[in-house]
Chains A and B, each alone.
Chain A
Amino acid sequence: MLRPIKKIESAAALNATQKMIQRFALWLCEPGRSAEKITEAEIKTLMKTPQEAAWLWSFLSGKHNGKTHLQRAKYLAALSANQKARLKAWVNATTNVGVYFDLTPTGKQIPVDSPFIKNKAAKTHWDNLKDLMEAFYLKGLNQGLAYLPDGNPTADKTKALNYQTFRMDFIKYHQLDKHEFAREVCVMCNGELRNTSIDHWIPKADYPLLSVCADNLVPICGECNQSPNKGKKKVHTEGSFEDWFHPHLRHPGGTLIITHQTSDFGVALNTTRASDAARVRNLNALFNLEQRWTREFKAEYRKLYNSILTRQQKKGTPLSLESLCHQLEEWADGLNPNQPHYEVHRVLAETLRDANRLMTWHAQLIDEA
């Protein structure tokens, strides 16, 4: 999160879908809604346009684990009035997450408990809800939403926004060097973007209604997204987001810095805003950034040292202090923000402006050559 993360234009289609999901979920919770009252005709009256209605109806006919999504929707509609009232409140509280990220602390908390009354059937209720809502992401987004990237409904699946195009657009938008051969940079760790997967910042397993929320989706590198890094870790403390950054809703916006101290033997993640200390700690714990960046710091340190050594061994003359200064400056001048790990390399360059380190390197390089 050293660099800005923006919502891209095609987020409009995600927003529209998010509205569709919320509308659909609340519609299921209506007291008068029963299993029989979930029909194609009813869906047509629910949705504003015929394209949306057609998409939703065909989506519901999809199967997952031997059960159609329509069966799941009917199951939820058939719940007791009490359960549905609770579910409705829960849906409202877990869809508009923006309210938890106000500048001044409001004390609002996202519900951490299940929307259903704790009993034997609660698990079945939850599984039906979760599978149905997650399918909007797993199947819906994968095969194409009901909307064009600009958010207008469409019946044409080839033009509709899908997983691939969203991911591609996002990556393209956030790259500084947009050339097709350029290495891509992960917006989270600033390392090379490989094995990209779309992260649900607030895990969709806990909050399935956020499965296609534009605010909740960030394509990041596989290393960031997988255990032991983010994985399925929580991004709130007991429902409170106060001590947490958020890539879209509470981006640190350039206040994060990487620092180095000789006696630390590595780099540390710090902030220029003292009040963010807890958030920085949590961010670091979420992605193990300090550890991963220190690894990169050491690896680049060694690469640079060895390349100077190799050059010198090929020349055959002893390394002069002047030449060392020159080579280090050349290297530092060549650093480029388009490249992965630019920030870590920048810190290394800064570190190497230290006279003591320079003398140490010089002595050792001469020794080794």
Chain B
Amino acid sequence: MRLRYLNLKLYAPLSNLKVCFASDMIWNAIAEGSPDPCAIHFVVGLNGSGKSHLLRALASVFVSLADGRLPGFPFTLIYELGTADNPRTVIFNNPGIRSEASLWQAERIVFEKNVDADGFDVAIAALQTSEDFIARVAPGNYPQTVTDLLPKILAYTSGSWDAWNEVWRPPLDLAGQDFRFPKDEDFPFELERPVGWTGQDEDALDSVEKPENPGATLPHTYVDASDLLNRPILMSGSRPDAALLAVALQGLQTEREQGSVPVELANLFKKTVWQKLVSVRLRLNLDHALAAPRAMRNKIHDALLAAGEVISQPHPSERLRVLHFDVGAPLPLNTEYHDKRLATLTSQDEALTLLLGEQNQSAFSRFNELSRWLALGLIDGIEMSIRRNEKPENVEQADIGVMSYADLSDGEQMVLRRWALFHLLSGQQDALLLLDEPETHFNDAWKREIVSIIEQAMGKDASSVLIASHSAIVLSDVFDEEIIHIKKALDSTSSAYQVASRTFGTDPSALMMSLFETDDSIGIRAQRRIEAFIDYIRQQQAPTEKNIADLRMVISRLGTGFYRSELQTWLKQLQEDNERIALKRVIMNLDSPKLKAELLAVIEQKIPDTGDSNA
């Protein structure tokens, strides 16, 4: 999946936004062999310029397409699906009215690499008469099911989920189905709740009052419909943990088959103290499991049998069980599995892997299964235990190596979760990963690695990653063509621009000054103080002894950088008499660096690094 062009007429604060996503990097020049099909785009801009809005607008478009709706804003989106040898271009055009919304596709045809916004607009205007594009949904026929044109979409934010949940909110006609009344019928009085009561209060009361009838309905409504097949997935709640578990299980399976964990995955775990997955605990809600569809119920049945330990958790109204799966531990002896293959397996983690998906399936499909369990409320928590040291050889020695995943530091948990997303999509074609500031909470060393990690994990797949970022360090790792710069105008609408300076391989502090238009790479407070101090000294006709002493004091307190070097230079200047100034000028005009260096060293009364002290 490759994004090509997005035209947003109005998605406040974005207005008249036209983004052409660079379709081919200069990577071709630097890359070895054929270019990587994976496209990485960055969205940068100051706070409030609307970076996240751009991501959400895209998500909105795809969520609506999946639901057969239209988002409440006009847009045009062009993207490509499939691999380079069998591409397909899709145009989703919504001028704002349902009767004009249309969806077009062209097989084996892609837009030229260097088409600009005008070029795309011309192509869109000519759609009706185009020979290349056929109307999948002609104007007037929207909505129709077109799930085959949907890429796999995952969205993650390190910020607030509220706005994102809003985008994912299911269509009202589905969510409210059970609560709707015919227009001529009055609202039944007995359904009215007292002030301050919510549906949850009522459910809780119901379940306490009627324990003999265990909650026969599933919480699976469309309220959180991420589990609907083909709907884009919002990585909120426990889903990042599910992703991490799916990736870790995949790693274990590869280890069983090939003898070692893939090196990229090993590197990911090495970043934290994670050495090895020791056990997995799933918290199961028995009531929900019993009400689940038959196939799902069978799986849960098998899971209960295959788990090394099943512990009941006390709860006033619900029947909760915690299922322990120990990595490498043998399965309990049992023959009553629905899935007979389970009996032939040797370890509990293998069983869990099989329950989540066939052997040849990917981490992504296991993750899908897990998130379906989560959405149905079958499980409501995933916990993992990891080993951080080798097991002591001496049995009597205390084994301090095992710790819960939840006990890792916030930053470590986040790095694992976020990086797991890349590995989750590794090998998937036509995926679109939307990341909103994934580098928050990370130290600079980790920030530096983001782009290379994406490339290692997903570089070979025909997928796209769109990242909103603030980090100058991250941006020094990408080409300016890959960056979409959102700038706010005075009337507080935002538009997209190309970046005005080269970014790849640039020093981050220089980048910060050019991209975020700061006047300096040091903090404002430091800059103001230094400038105020300089102004003060400059106002003195001849600097006094005290000024010089102050200046020296300030210098000694400054860290290295522009201001320290310049203040030091100035200090030297202030202390010089005319004779020395003239002398130095003569020296600096000499041609030979060697002679220059030696003479300067003498003047500064220092022994030069080369040559002797009498020179």
Binding site for B on A (CB under 8 A): 191-192, 194-195, 221-223, 226-227, 262-263, 265, 291, 294-296, 298-303, 305-306, 318, 320-326, 329, 353-361, 363-364, 367-368
Q: Are A322 and B597 in contact (CB under 8 A)?
A: yes
Whether B513 lies near A356 (C-beta < 8 A) is no
- Distance from A76 Cβ to chain B, minimum over Cβ atoms (Å): 29
Give complex CA distance A156, B569 in Å: 64
**The one of A192, A291, A357 that contacts B501, using a Cβ cutoff of 8 Å:** A192
Given contacts A355-B600, A359-B600, could you give 16 more A-B pairs where the C-beta distance is less than 8 Å? A227-B489, A263-B537, A265-B563, A291-B519, A295-B517, A298-B520, A298-B562, A302-B510, A303-B510, A322-B609, A355-B603, A356-B572, A356-B573, A360-B572, A361-B565, A364-B560
Binds A, one of B214-222, B249-257, B277-285, B586-594: B586-594
Give the distance in Å from the alpha carbon of A173 to the alpha carbon of B570 in the complex. Answer: 43
Task: Offer 25 A-B interface pairs, CB within 8 angstroms, sorted by A.
Answer: A191-B500, A192-B500, A194-B498, A223-B500, A262-B566, A262-B570, A263-B537, A265-B534, A265-B566, A295-B520, A298-B513, A298-B562, A299-B514, A300-B510, A322-B608, A322-B609, A325-B597, A329-B593, A355-B587, A359-B572, A360-B568, A364-B564, A364-B565, A364-B568, A368-B560
Chain A CB within 8 A of B604 CB: yes
Known: A295-B514, A321-B597, A353-B588. A265 touches B531 (CB 8 A): yes
Is residue B497 contacting chain A, with contact meaning CB distance below 8 A?
yes
Bound CA span A322–B610, Å: 8
How far is it, in angstroms, between the C-alpha of A296 and the C-alpha of B511 when the chains are bound?
A: 10
**Prevailing SS type, chain A contact patch:** helix
Determine if A295 and B519 form an interchain contact, defined as CB atoms under 8 angstroms apart: yes
Which chain B residue lies CB-closest to A317? Answer: B609
- Chain A residues, CB < 8 A from B501: 192, 194
Q: Quick one: which of B498-512 are within 8 Å of A by CB? A: 498-502, 507, 509-510
**B299 located at the interface, meaning its Cβ lies under 8 Å from any Cβ of chain A in the complex:** no
A349 to chain B, nearest CB (A): 12
B450 within 8 A of partner (CB): no
| Chain A residues whose C-beta falls within 8 Å of the C-beta of B489 in the assembled complex | 227
* B601 and A321 contact, CB distance less than 8 A: yes
Name A363's closest neighbour in chain B (CB-CB). Answer: B568
Contact between B600 and A358 (Cβ–Cβ < 8 Å)? yes
Q: Is B584 an interface residue (CB 8 A)?
A: yes
Our pick among A265, A318, A355, A367 for the contact of B588 (Cβ within 8 Å) is A355
Residues of A within 8 A of B563 (CB): 265
Q: Which residues of B contact A298 (CB under 8 A)?
A: 513, 520-521, 562
Return chain B residues, CB-CB under 8 Å to A227.
Answer: 489-490
Chain A nearest CB from B82 CB (Å) reads: 32
User: What's the Cα separation between A309 and B209 when bound, in Å?
Assistant: 75
Q: How far is the CA of A306 from the CA of B562 in the complex (A)?
A: 11
Of B507, B514, B519, B600, which one neighbours A321 at CB under 8 angstroms?
B600
- The residue on A at minimum CB distance from B498 is A195
> Closest residue to A193 on the B side, CB-wise?
B500
Residues of B whose CB lies within 8 Å of any CB of A are 487, 489-490, 497-502, 507, 509-510, 513-514, 517, 519-521, 531, 534, 537-538, 560-566, 568-570, 572-573, 576, 584-585, 587-588, 593-594, 596-598, 600-601, 603-604, 608-610
Residues of B within 8 A of A326 (CB): 593
Measured between alpha carbons, how far is A8 from B131 in the docked complex, in Å?
41
Q: Are B560 and A320 in contact (CB under 8 A)?
A: no
CB-CB under 8 A from A222, the residues of chain B are 497-498, 500
Question: Known: A221-B500, A265-B563. Is A354-B596 also a contact (CB below 8 A)?
Answer: no
Complex CA distance for A262 and B562, rounded to whole angstroms:
11
Closest 3 CB pairs of A and B: A322-B597, A356-B572, A325-B593
How many Å from the CB of A117 to the closest CB on chain B? 30
The contact of B500 among A195, A321, A323, A364, by CB within 8 Å, is A195
Looking at A227, A263, A329, A353, which has the most chain B CB atoms within 10 Å of its CB?
Answer: A263
The distance in angstroms between the C-alpha atoms of A355 and B572, with both chains bound, is: 10
Q: Report the minimum CB–CB distance from B575 to chain A (whole Å).
A: 9
Bound: A364/B561 CA distance, A:
9
Assembly CA distance A223 to B570 (angstroms): 33
Q: A223, A300, A303, A318: which contacts B609 (Cβ < 8 A)?
A: A318
Q: Shortest Cβ distance from B117 into chain A, in angstroms?
A: 12
Q: Is the pair A354, B507 in contact by a Cβ cutoff of 8 Å?
A: no
Q: A302-B507, A322-B609 are in contact. Are A354 and B497 (CB under 8 A)?
A: no
Q: Chain B residues with Cβ under 8 A from A359's Cβ?
A: 572, 600, 604
Smallest distance from the beta carbon of A185 to chain B beta carbons, Å? 13
Residue numbers in B under 8 Å from A361 (CB-CB) = 565
Cβ of A294: which chain B residues have Cβ within 8 Å of it?
519
Contacts of B593 in A (CB 8 A): 322-323, 325-326, 329
Alpha-carbon separation in the docked complex, A57 to B441 (Å): 63
A183 → chain B closest CB, angstroms: 8
Instruction: Tell me the bound Cα distance from A296 to B502 in angstroms.
Output: 13
Q: In the complex, which of the residues B500, B517, B534, B585 contacts A263, with contact meaning CB atoms closer than 8 Å? A: B534
Residues in B whose Cβ lies below 8 Å from that of A323: 593
